[in-house]
Amino acid sequence: MKIGLNTNVYADYPLESFLDKIVRMGFEGIEIARMHAIHELPKAGVSEYKKLIKKATLEVYSVQGGTPFTNTEFAKKRIELARLLDCINVNMGPGIGMNINGDFSAAWKKTLESFTEIAEYANNYGINANIEPEPRAPLSFQKPTITTYEHAEKMLQELGMKNVGLVLDIIHTFVSKENIFKIITRCIDKIKVIHVGDTIDGRHLHLLPGRGNINFELILRALMKTVYKDYLSVEIYPYFDVPDEASFQSIIYLQGILQRIS
């Protein structure tokens, strides 16, 4: 497995300002967060970023395409960005937003329609359109349609499209109180990217790996027994005020476990 970084921890910095820095830390790739909106640039501008990323010897393994809810037009723009950057994964998010006590069946239908349109568009370019369940945010009157991996698996079955995969967010499985080991067993062939962060008491915190009570050694051992050889994507956006320190501590921790169990 490879270790990559979700760029949302560097939300206050332009993409080009930290690429060389994270390579020196040991990261092999990046997941381009939605706040790094280089999809808004003309193709020539995106090409310049592609050159910078290549020069830094980084791979773009995923592009975030949620807002954070699923927005079809935004996702298509991010698919275009992924195509220009030779990236094969776009995270299309957790479905449309709905009111807490809203009509779930209606939201599910709209999400199914949106995912179908996005996935068909992505398939034209050989790109995976991936679903990431997202827990309800505290103090919010809205929630995503897909908040659990049980929902995500049902959506995968209804879509029945080969290029639709999953983003396994380790924290989200603890927030939704699902068994991550069972999810890995059932869904490993559909998991395209794994988000890594820590939590305490099943709260949606995105702490540095090792700062909470998730047993990463057990999870990584389980993953090493599978076919998964892709990215562990460090997602630690609450540390936007200390991104260098947070990123470095995260990769040192994960490298230590991988070296110990390999």
Q: What is the CATH number of the domain that holds 75?
A: 3.20.20.150
Average pLDDT value over all residues in the chain: 97
Between the alpha carbon of residue 7 and those of residues 64, 164, 212, 233, the distances in Å are: 10, 23, 21, 10
pLDDT higher than threshold 90 for residue 137: no
**Number of structural domains, the chain?**
1
Residue 203 has pLDDT above 90, yes or no: yes
Mean pLDDT of 185-189: 97
Domain holding 95, by residue range, is: 2-261
Q: Quickly state the pLDDT bin for 11 (edges 50, 70, 90).
A: very high
The confidence band for 67, taking pLDDT boundaries of 50, 70 and 90, is confident
Backbone angles phi, psi at 221, to 5 degrees: -60, -40
CA distances from 136 to 97, 99, 146, 181 (A): 10, 11, 9, 22
Q: In percent, how much of the chain has pLDDT > 90? A: 96
**92 — pLDDT class (breaks 50, 70, 90):** very high
Alpha helices in the chain (DSSP H): 19-25, 43-55, 72-84, 104-123, 149-159, 170-175, 180-187, 216-224, 243-261
| Dist. CA 253–CA 210, nearest whole Å | 7
Average pLDDT over residues 196-206: 96
Q: Is the pLDDT of residue 139 over 80?
A: no
pLDDT tier for residue 38 given thresholds of 50, 70 and 90: very high
